[in-house]
Amino acid sequence: MTGIAFAAADEVAFWPVNEGTQFITRNFWAAAGGSAVVPALTDIGESYQITYATFGTPDAGWGVEQTAGVSGVDFEARIVDVLDSQKAPIRRSGNAGVFLVFEIVATVGAA
């Protein structure tokens, strides 16, 4: 696999959506995917877009972009929690955010 294009016989990750499965990532991009940003308490409860970021060498890859997800249009990540470098919730530790915990939300048509 190269970039975001798939070649014949590539393995493709699959996960069920809308089932409450939680994921953790440190790949959090600014709006338009131009740079990494630090997650904050205000991100908890937000719905952002899941996008591929091309900044950096190699590309930064797939992550959560700090652009509001639009129901029925975007592949969304609903932010459940923000964790520090020790993976403790920042609302308890008071430390800087490093990781996002999110659920994948997919919708079809207008909500």
Domain ranges, ordered by start, for the chain: 28-105
pLDDT over 90 for what percent of the chain?
A: 50
**DSSP symbol at 109:** S
Residue ranges with strand state E in the chain: 22-25, 28-29, 47-53, 61-68, 76-83, 99-105
Q: Which residue has the higher pLDDT, 86 or 3?
A: 86
Query: What would the pLDDT profile of 36-72 be if each residue is shown by its tens digit?
Result: 999 999 999 999 999 888 888 888 888 999 999 888 8
Kindly write down the DSSP assignment for every residue of 35-51, as one continuous string: SB----GGGTT-EEEEE
pLDDT exceeds 90 at position 87: yes
Residue 44: which of 68, 78, 67, 71 has the closest Cα?
78
Please tell me whether the overall predicted TM-score, pTM, comes out greater than 0.85 for this model: no
pLDDT for 54: 84
Sign of CA dihedral 104, 109, 110, 111: negative
